[in-house]
């Protein structure tokens, strides 16, 4: 049975910045963050880039959890590289959060993550995660 976002991400609303799973493949996952005009996560009508980055971190957690569904695992982000905070998201936007696994060495996995609204890049960067297996729940 596919785990729910509540099972994959520890954060609860309004501190969760991933609303839906769009697609999940072997090396890439896509997630959606939809911002209604009255969304409590908005600050003066925008979601600042730093919170969009938080969305990417949560999307990475969700993707890792979905990939480890057969053998559940937890993980911790241990390094961010080449992060660029380009723009905020706005009320009415649907933000596409994409996570691609690029490298793995032992328990460490490197992801490229990007947040876009249409073709407009908001935030991009490389995330390194230290995985650790955990007991199935």
Partner 1 sequence: MDELKERLKKVIIQELHLDGVAPESISDSAPLFGGGLSLDSLDALQLAVAVEEHFGVRVADESEGKAAFASVDALASYITARQKSAGKSP
Cβ atoms within 10 Å of 16's Cβ, excluding its own: 18
Residue 43 touches partner 1, criterion: CB under 8 A: no
Question: Which range touches partner 1 (CB under 8 A), out of 40-48, 55-63, 69-77, 105-113?
Answer: 105-113
What does the angle CA 78 – CA 79 – CA 83 come to, to the nearest 5 degrees? 145
Residue 78 touches partner 1, criterion: CB under 8 A: yes
Bond before 58 cis per omega within 30 degrees: no
Bond before 44 cis per omega within 30 degrees: no
Judged by CB, which is closer to partner 1: 32, or 80?
80
Question: Which range touches partner 1 (CB under 8 A), out of 3-11, 24-32, 47-55, 73-81?
Answer: 73-81
Residues that bind partner 1 (CB under 8 A): 78-79, 81, 102-108, 110, 128
């Amino acid at each position: 049975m596919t785990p729910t976002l509540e099972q994959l991400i520890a954060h609860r609303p309004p501190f969760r910045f991933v609303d839906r799973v769009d697609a999940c493949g072997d090396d890439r996952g896509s997630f959606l963050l939809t911002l209604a005009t009255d969304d409590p996560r908005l600050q003066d009508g925008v979601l600042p880039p730093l919170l969009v980055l938080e969305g990417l971190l949560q999307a990475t957690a969700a993707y890792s959890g979905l990939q480890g569904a057969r053998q559940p695992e937890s993980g911790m982000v241990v390094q961010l590289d080449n992060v660029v905070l380009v723009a905020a998201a706005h009320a009415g936007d649907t933000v596409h959060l994409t996570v691609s696994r690029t490298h793995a060495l032992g328990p460490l996995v490197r992801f490229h993550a990007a947040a876009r609204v249409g073709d407009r890049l908001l935030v991009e960067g490389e995330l390194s995660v230290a995985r650790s297996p955990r007991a199935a729940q």
